[in-house]
Amino acid sequence: MDRLWAMQVFVRVVECGSFSRAAESLDIANATVTSSVRKLEDYLGVTLLSRNTRSLRLTDDGEGYFQQCNQVLQLVSDMEAQVRQKKGEISGQLCIESPAAFARALLCPALPAFTAQHPGLSVALRQTDHAEDLIATGTDVAIRIDSVNDADLVARPLYQAHYVACAAPGLLKRIGTPEQPQDLQPKHCLGIFGAGRYTVSDWTFACEGEQHQLTPRGDLHFNSTDALIQAALAEQGVIYVLDVFVNGLIRRGELVELFPDWSTGSRSFYTVTPKARFIAPRTRAFIDFILATLDAQRRPASGASIAVRQGRRGLV
């Protein structure tokens, strides 16, 4: 029996809360997972998991062994990282999950440079606006906005984004460039709406104690930031989006930022990893790379609070 592999399987079963989800995340057969844990229990002479048809729970022996396994696996990972660092090697497959707009605006353009730094590494990027279970899906690191939905995840500040009003130069030539938000006509503004509704979100601006709010009344509204940006590039209207999605377009002159002296709302982006799982060198390398790629001045403070929505606690 490969005890190190058996420990990895056991830890994944605990993290996933079921044998089948562990098997799926490890891409092995259910029977292999079950057999591995059973052999480990036989070898140790104790029952690690109490299971029935509806639940899976750690025994007292299993709880202590689970914590020790995590320590051992982290130690092994650290030793491997030290050896690879001496060789300059980061290898294996890195699985990333990201909101679609963030991935297309930032990750997709940046990832070729990251893989070029590490020839032995491959990257699998899943773009989704519906956060999934990192452990069950075998995801190494994910990008989250504002909050995480599970206290068993570790969130690290990545980027502090602010909303900007912007438009294509051609459109501004036709309608004129407004000098302040009060000059902006709602009929020229394109809105965005959230899931399960068609009511567009208001735009808010503040400057030296003065507040202004605007409700977009243009001809087009979307539930997609990408679609909104494409409409702006096609000179269909003024948009109000997070700067992280349009910084490049503004730098290249394809869009023009309006009202830079006015403050707007902000949202925070975080990298998220499973708390219990050891962090592989490739994951650490990616987090360091993406932090260096983004504007450090917009990064949330390291002590900033991170909202945690109610999520799973332990095994069910």
**Mean pLDDT on 289-304:** 63
What domain range includes position 24? 3-85
Same domain flag for 181 and 286: yes
**Domain boundary at 40, 65, 85, which?**
85
**Mean pLDDT on 163-189:** 96
pLDDT band at 289 (very low <50, low <70, confident <90, very high): very high
What pLDDT was estimated at residue 313?
33
If one counts the domains in the chain, the total is 2
Same domain flag for 227 and 111: yes
The total of other beta-carbon atoms located within 10 Å of residue 181's CB is 22
**Mean pLDDT on 64-85:** 82
pLDDT above 70: percentage of residues in the chain? 89
- Flag whether pLDDT at 189 surpasses 90: yes
Same domain flag for 46 and 126: no
The total of other beta-carbon atoms located within 10 Å of residue 29's CB is 10
**Beta-sheet pairing, 239-242 with 153-167:** antiparallel
55 with 315: CB under 8 angstroms?
yes
In a domain, 133, yes or no: yes
In a domain, 311, yes or no: no
C-alpha 219: how far from chain center: 32
The total of other beta-carbon atoms located within 10 Å of residue 3's CB is 12
In a domain, 202, yes or no: yes
Longest CA span, the chain: 79
Q: Of 247, 236, 228, 234, whose CA–CA distance to 298 is shortest?
A: 247
Same domain flag for 154 and 277: yes
C-alpha 89: how far from chain center: 25
What pLDDT was estimated at residue 316?
28
- The rounded distance, in Å, linking the Cα atoms of 290 and 270 is 11
Q: What is the pLDDT of residues 215-274, one digit of tens each?
A: 999 999 999 899 999 999 999 999 999 998 998 899 999 999 999 999 998 888 999 988
- Flag whether pLDDT at 298 surpasses 60: no
What are the tokens at 91?
A: 């290898």
Looking at this protein, which amino acid is placed at residue 98?
S
In a domain, 121, yes or no: yes
